[in-house]
Structure 1
């Protein structure tokens, strides 16, 4: 994968493996927005505010800082080797091939399930307007459209993500602007409250519903940031990666914190947080207070866009992960997934990943499968934390390897920042074991990790025995 050639006509860089560097700096940032700003903010923020009140701002800030540190670690490794199609490949390179294999397949599965979850959500949002529509039909239509976008050209995917993420960002900016207006004019709400910055920290308590609820908010917010690491999947198809990557990584975290913390701050300033309904989107509630009767309709459209954006990024990312797995595999059966189209798309791996997501409409057709799917999705999300821990371990090993690039895009203060991030991610996982709702998925994630690696060890020993007997 080392060399690059240039297409004279289009002036687009082509990697030696045939994939194309067609993503701009803006597209890379929007892909990260697409993955990490979604329904967790537009629909789920009411629940997190209800748990901790204004202290939720500290939770978002803290997790945002640690995600930034992880992004700097990923950015440093991708800067040193921008030919990699996924950051997970560094786990196999610097930690161990076995754990790298586990992380790659686990992360691919997590992204596939995330895409399936977005498909399920999309059908729910569409049925808000068209209750008589079949869920499976809605899901297949959206999957076909977004798969077609992914198969067109890398630049087409980038442009679609700029549009989809742009709508989400515009919605948040409108909320913040309206919020500032309501607060500065001391807007009187129908409930008898008044918009004021004093609403945010009036009678402030760090644990208004107890320490347990405060701790439980951390995993919820952690998963809301999930998807930011998509930047570490776009590098191999980004124009001028060593120029774009540092800008993209450094700018993303500040903007995400602005949109998350800025919107939550405004929401709690417009009306006291205790008056918010945790079961309804806080965006809907605030737009209603601002006198927008169609608030629920507007937000329903935005969450459809948000789900499309996340699904779009999931199809892109699953395709690149499977392609990287096939590239690194010695199995002949995996060589099928290394096919690259004339447009520079790893077409076989993208199509296969999208095909697996067809399980979502099948599950929707059988209600009895819904509970099992929810459990598997939760297990997969918990495995994501383990992948994050392994990624940080890979970065630490990279810093002590011969590949370390002294003049690269270095993670700041890695000697303490790296171990501290690992400890924080580990604490997030441990907290899942003390919550009745999350303990079984967390145990399921541990069982998957243990079972996968034991099976891999057994397979390796069996192959060694065959080699010994053969010789």
Structure 2
């Protein structure tokens, strides 16, 4: 039945296939954090950075199992935030939904700015604001036409990134087995293992690497946002979640290992992509241009996913709201997408071109963007609490896609999110955004506890009501 019923009750269409979902999850996670930011992570703690990736990757996988279990039970939901509303209350869902949506918009603005910067590598005199508008219009059109077109675009964007990573991994092992000599010495395992210590630059730097790696994994939850528009989700969802973490760890750990294998990690520059440094070292003169193309693709991919995700989250906010203003955003277009919700999200991202010509405002925005990224930790923690409540609710599906040992894993995940948040204070550049995140929770949390738009009116239909 599920295989043939490809139109949801709300009018959205199930047209994403397994290959789309796999690549959307990979594309949303593997991005500039690896292609540009890996040098900084490696410099902080050396080869032990691989251990940090394994630890955080494992916790992300467990979080995805919790989200996957709830979505398996109710694959009609467009976002995991719906479960926070259902099991923790409408006002908690209101807080989490708006917090996550604002975070997505800020991420989209940051990625749009980065996209313009990468294009200016080839077109240095082109105005950044114009480049941003062109890319935003094109990607918005892709998302408005059909969800399958979004899936196809994301599939090919992700494929380019994966080819670049596999090329570097293959190059690294070829150089290792051929005992290739670079200007810094022979490619050898001793570049990784020589004088290995867990804290080469002190425990503070090791702990300080956790937020950097954590934020490199952000976007893995996009796999859950696609569930409502995926063909046969009961088959695709478990397969995608179980396979995605292995692939991501291979790509991340494989890439990091090869970077340190070829290039002595203490000699890496934090101002240049490690991919550019490695390919330049082995004689690829066009390394900077090739990697710039890859990171441009990566940024466009992240922006594409953000438009998709923010549109679905705003659509969910509209569904849960009884405000007259939000009513228009509940509509689904003839193409089966929440067009108005997508347009308001991209409309907010349009602030980015304005910020790009106002340096003072741009610096303030960077601070706000960092703070909203920190708030993802709060939303993730609320999601896991919702999962625990789900396990004790009448909705629980005992033969579903179960998270193993949830009584132990759920509390561990919440502790883990708390530890990562505390680790933000070990890095001076993260302290102000972390404090702003706490201020947001207190101020907006108080406002959310008083707001009334999620409280159903007497004549509201039962279809939009959520019960705890």
Bin the TM-score by the shorter chain. Answer: over 0.9
1:157 aligns to what? 150
Q: Residue 282 of structure 2 aligns with which residue? A: 290
Task: Say whether 1:392 aligns with 2:389.
Answer: no
Distance 2:257 2:361 in 1: 39
Whole-angstrom distance in 2 between the partners of 1:284 and 1:460: 52
Task: Give CA-to-partner distance per residue, 1:169-214, whole Å, 9 cap, x none.
Answer: 01000000011101111111112x1101222111001111111111
Q: Which residue of structure 1 lines up, in the alignment, with residue 128 of structure 2?
A: 135
Per the alignment, residue 255 of structure 1 pairs with: 247
Which of 91, 96, 104 is equivalent to 2:97? 104
Instruction: Tell me the residue number matched to 2:396.
Output: 404
2:405 pairs with 1:413 = yes
Mapped contact 2:375–2:437 kept (Cα < 8 A): yes
Question: Does residue 342 of the first structure (1) align with residue 334 of the second (2)?
Answer: yes
Structure 2 residue 224 is the aligned partner of structure 1 residue 232? yes
Aligned length in residues: 455
The partner residue of 1:243 within 229, 235, 238 is 235
Following the alignment from structure 2 to structure 1, what is the Cα–Cα distance between the partners of residues 384 and 282? 44
Tell me, yes or no, if the aligned pair for 1:178 and 1:290 is still in contact at 8 Å: no
Structure 1 alignment gaps of length 5 or more:
465-471
- Provide the rounded CA distance (Å) in 2 between the counterparts of 1:195 and 1:275: 14
1:460 shift after superposition: 4.7
| Moved beyond 4 Å, runs of 4+ | none
Match of 2:10 in 1: 17
**Conservation of the 8 A alpha-carbon contact between 1:179 and 1:270:** yes
Moved more, 50-59 or 365-374: 365-374
Q: CA deviation at 1:12?
A: 6.8
Structure 2 unmatched runs, 5+? 457-468
Cα deviation, residue 322, structure 1: 0.4
Q: How many Å separate the matches in 1 of 2:415 and 2:5?
A: 42
Q: Could you say what secondary structure the match of 2:226 adopts?
A: helix
Instruction: Give me the TM-score of the superposition, normalised by structure 2.
Output: 0.95
- Corresponding residue of 1:124: 117
Q: Is the 8 A contact 2:91 2:451 kept in 1?
A: no
2:82 corresponds to 1:89: yes
The alpha-carbon deviation at position 434 of structure 1 amounts to 3.5
Q: Secondary structure at the match of 2:7?
A: strand
The alpha carbon displacement at 1:56 in A equals: 0.3
**For the Cα contact (< 8 Å) 2:119–2:296, is it kept in 1?**
yes
Q: Distance in 2 between matches of 1:168 and 1:443?
A: 34
1:333 and 1:371 mapped to 2: Cα distance?
A: 32
Q: 1:445 maps to which residue?
A: 437
Q: CA RMSD in A?
A: 1.6
- Alpha-carbon offset, residue 102 of structure 1: 0.5
* d(CA) in 2 for partners of 1:27, 1:290: 34
**Cα contact 1:12–1:20 (8 A) shared by 2:** no
Between 50-59 and 94-103, report the one with greater CA deviation: 94-103
CA contact (8 A) 1:27 1:158 kept: yes
Do 2:92 and 2:449's aligned partners in 1 also have CA atoms closer than 8 Å?
A: no
1:329-383 residue CA offsets vs partner (Å, 9 max, x unmatched): 1112111101111110100000110111000001012112111110110110010
SS at match of 1:27: helix
Asked whether the 8 Å contact 1:31–1:158 carries over to 2, the reply is yes
What corresponds to 2:465 in structure 1?
none
Contact 1:112 1:318 in 2 (8 A): yes
- Deviations, residues 289-330 of structure 1 (Å, cap 9, x unaligned): 222100000000000000000000000000000001111111
CA contact (8 A) 2:164 2:294 kept: yes
The answer to whether the aligner puts 1:277 opposite 2:269 as a matched pair is yes
Partner of 1:207: 199
Contact 1:13 1:239 in 2 (8 A): yes
Q: CA deviation at 1:258?
A: 0.4
